[in-house]
Amino acid sequence: MPIYEFRCKKCKNIFESLIFSSKEEKGISCPKCGSKKTEKVMSVSARRKSSGSSGSGGSSCSATSCPPGCSCH
């Protein structure tokens, strides 16, 4: 299921919404203030996956703090 995060430009509230098409995205309103001035934001999990070394999850670790199976080194 495609769940996206949005930020309200009016009250800065960040919320999630289930979106199946780009048409639905245009009608999204903030659940806090009701404003339709919203923007899609990149979720925290998406930022972690796209940054850093492969398999590191975006975390910074050293050889002494890596969990078992870490592939960042």
Q: What is the pLDDT of residue 26?
A: 82
Give CATH for domain 3-46: 2.20.28
For 45-57, how does the pLDDT look when each residue is reduced to its tens digit (9 = 90+)? 654 444 454 444 4
Mean pLDDT of the chain: 74
Comparing CA positions, the residue from 64, 10, 62 lying closest to residue 72 is 62
Comparing CA positions, the residue from 16, 14, 20 lying closest to residue 2 is 20
- For residue 2, pLDDT over 50 is answered with yes
Q: What is the pLDDT of residue 24?
A: 82
Q: What is the pLDDT of residue 72?
A: 56
> pLDDT class for 12, splitting at 50, 70, 90?
very high
